[in-house]
């Protein structure tokens, strides 16, 4: 019966997500809606175990962060690492203080609850950012900053909320936070690097085992860091980044399976959080949530972006977009269960405020992001946004077999084979066109829909991929136009 209900809930969530997407609403809210429909004020399923919700929520967030890391591209993340680190630390601190001040002044809570509320809602949500912003054609630097920030800022906020829920902050708090962040980062990089080194040298009997091994490595990083009181969240995200950018065999399969697991985690997490809420108790939380959310969105978030990016001279248009794109989702709701489990006085009402704030401001921010991107002129057109290069190892030859499809917007269309000028040793060995395979000649002209098989030396593979992407962006004269 439990499996039947769970299966129906998953299918209902998928259907609700389709309806929400068609209406221009964030799909994550559809999952919350399914949970509310199944819950105490809906079909009557009662779920009020905050401790279980907290543990399941942490596990689901680990899955989401591993998936986010696996799907991230190092070339877009690298220029954003330092500003993302400042946003995840200095920016979070500014947001916490300003939001707490607003809560203390306008809704009359004591300082401990005000700081807890500020810490809970300070971080952007990885699930919301990964699912919403990846559908926007943002410049690589801007998209990379948003993704990196959402992956990094969970760790500091979790530490703050745990400390404030236990006994408050003392002089050891900065040292504890520093240890957790540094040790968690070390675990993520070391375990991710070890897993990537091993998977590149193993020839597994089935391509389906590579995604399992890669994802399992990310979860090991999360659990190992947590076992030693380090930040498992930052370990999971960094391990995913290392694995996703290490040139693993069957990379498309790895990312596809990871994306599927990420969606399962998001559906389960949001449906569970919808079940946890009792809608008839939310009325008294609406006004405080709107007030605190307005302070966060209109004052705290812009101030944190402005101060964190001062050393980098980012354009004001991108800073304005970053301020509005600070999406909240499952993370604040999961964090709100920590003080409830710890028995902090007033934490039940705090949970309701956070829930209403997340729903209300996701409805405001999510649908308006594409419009704001066009108004601020920060969106771009990327002709190879959907270009994926798959690979499989050829162990005996120390070579890789690459596979790609020419998309309608790619400037590979119309190129002759010799114009690709692939770095040696590499060659296009087969072209599949309308179901017919043939060996191309030097003057064979490529067309939309062609599927190409490219054999390249394992060491030369990154250069070959870079050249293919450059030609897909700029055509045969890619280097002349500045594409690399």
Q: Please report the domains of the chain, with CATH numbers, ordered by start residue.
A: 2-376 (1.20.1530.20), 390-474 (3.30.70.1450)
Tally of residues, the chain: 484
Q: How far from the centroid of its chain's Cα atoms is residue 462's Cα?
A: 24
Q: Is the whole model's pTM more than 0.75, yes or no? A: yes
Tell me what the pLDDT averaged over the chain comes to. 86
Distance separating alpha carbons of residues 276 and 456, to the nearest angstrom: 53
Residues 6+ apart with CB under 8 A from 54: 334, 337, 338, 341
Is the confidence at residue 386, as pLDDT, over 50?
no
Q: How far apart are CA 123 and CA 269, in angstroms?
A: 18
- In the structure, what pLDDT confidence band is assigned to residue 161 with cuts at 50, 70 and 90? very high
Classified as helix, coil or strand, 458 is: helix
**What's the pLDDT tens digit per position in 318-376?**
999 999 988 888 889 999 999 998 889 999 999 999 999 999 998 888 888 888 988 99
Q: For residue 343, which of 111, 119, 167 has the smallest C-alpha distance? A: 167
pLDDT score at 101: 96
pLDDT attached to residue 259: 84
User: Given this model, what pLDDT does residue 383 score?
Assistant: 41
Buried b (16+ CB within 10 A) or exposed e, 328-337: bbbbbbbbbb
Higher per-residue confidence, 234 vs 43: 234
- Average pLDDT for 182-188: 95
**pLDDT single digits (tens) 394-429:** 655 667 788 888 988 888 889 999 888 888 888 998
DSSP structure class, residue 393:
E
Res 96: pLDDT: 95
Q: Kind and range of the H or E element at 405?
A: strand 399-405
What local confidence, expressed as pLDDT, does residue 388 receive? 55
In the prediction, which pLDDT does 390 show?
60
Instruction: Give the residue with greater pLDDT, 219 vs 254.
Output: 219
Q: How far apart are the first and last CA of the chain?
A: 56
Contacts of 438 (CB under 8 A, 6+ apart): 430, 431
pLDDT at 91 over 90: yes
Average pLDDT over residues 142-157: 87
C-beta of residue 87 within 8 angstroms of C-beta of residue 305: yes
- What is the side-by-side strand order in the sheet with 451-457? 390-394, 399-405, 451-457, 426-433, 436-438
Choice among 51-65, 117-131, 347-361, 418-432 with the minimum mean pLDDT: 117-131
Residue 73 three-state SS:
coil
Beta-carbon contacts of residue 326 (< 8 Å; ≥ 6 apart): 124, 297, 301, 305, 365
- Most confident region among 440-444, 470-474, 477-481 by mean pLDDT: 440-444
The reported pLDDT for the residue numbered 384 is: 43
Q: How far, in Å, CA of 422 to CA of 416, rounded?
A: 12
Proportion of the chain above pLDDT 70, given as a percent = 91
Q: Among 303-307, 380-384, 462-466, which range has the highest average pLDDT? A: 303-307
Q: For residues 70 and 63, what is the distance between their CA atoms, to the nearest angstrom? A: 11
Q: Say if residue 143's pLDDT is above 60.
A: yes
């Amino acid at each position: 019966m439990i499996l039947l209900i769970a299966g129906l809930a998953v299918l209902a969530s998928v259907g609700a997500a389709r309806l929400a997407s068609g209406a221009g609403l964030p799909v994550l809210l559809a999952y919350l809606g399914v949970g509310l429909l199944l819950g105490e004020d809906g079909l009557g399923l009662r779920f009020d175990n905050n401790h279980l919700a907290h543990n399941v929520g942490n596990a689901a967030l680990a899955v989401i962060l591993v998936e986010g890391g696996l799907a991230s591209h190092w070339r877009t993340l690298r220029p954003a690492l330092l500003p993302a680190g400042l946003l995840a630390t200095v920016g979070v601190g500014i947001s916490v203080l300003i939001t707490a001040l607003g809560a203390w002044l306008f809704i009359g809570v004591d300082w401990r609850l005000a700081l807890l509320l500020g810490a809970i809602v300070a971080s952007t949500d990885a699930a919301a950012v990964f699912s919403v912003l990846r559908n926007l054609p943002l410049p690589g630097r801007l998209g990379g900053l948003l993704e990196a920030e959402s992956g990094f800022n969970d760790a500091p906020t979790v530490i703050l909320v745990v400390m404030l829920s236990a006994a408050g902050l003392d002089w050891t708090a900065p040292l504890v936070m520093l240890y957790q962040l540094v040790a968690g980062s070390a675990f993520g990089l070391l375990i991710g690097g070890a897993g990537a080194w091993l998977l590149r040298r193993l020839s597994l009997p089935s391509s389906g085992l590579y995604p399992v091994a890669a994802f399992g490595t990310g979860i090991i990083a999360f659990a190992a860091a947590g076992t030693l009181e380090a930040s498992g969240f930052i370990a999971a995200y960094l391990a995913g980044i290392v694995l996703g950018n290490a040139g693993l065999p069957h990379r498309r399969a790895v990312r596809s399976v990871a994306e599927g697991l990420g969606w399962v985690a998001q559906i389960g997490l949001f449906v569970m959080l919808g079940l946890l809420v009792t809608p008839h108790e939310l009325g008294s939380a609406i006004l405080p949530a709107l007030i605190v959310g307005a302070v966060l969105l209109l004052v705290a978030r812009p101030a944190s972006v402005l101060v964190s990016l001062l050393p980098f001279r980012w354009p004001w248009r991108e800073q304005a977009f970053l301020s509005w794109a600070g999406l909240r989702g499952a993370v604040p709701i999961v964090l709100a269960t920590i003080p409830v489990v710890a028995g902090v006085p007033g934490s039940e009402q705090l949970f309701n405020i956070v829930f209403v704030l997340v729903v209300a401001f996701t409805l405001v921010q999510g649908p308006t992001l594409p419009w704001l991107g066009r108004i601020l002129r920060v969106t771009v057109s990327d002709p190879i946004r959907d270009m994926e290069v798959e690979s499989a190892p050829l162990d005996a030859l120390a070579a890789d077999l690459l596979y790609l499809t020419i998309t309608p917007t790619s400037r590979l269309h119309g190129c002759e084979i010799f114009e690709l000028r692939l770095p040696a040793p590499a060659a296009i060995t087969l072209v599949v066109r309308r179901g017919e395979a043939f060996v191309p000649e030097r003057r064979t002209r490529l067309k939309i829909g062609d599927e190409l098989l490219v054999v390249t030396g394992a060491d030369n593979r990154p250069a070959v991929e870079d050249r293919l992407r450059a030609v897909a962006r700029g055509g045969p004269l890619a280097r002349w136009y500045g594409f690399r």
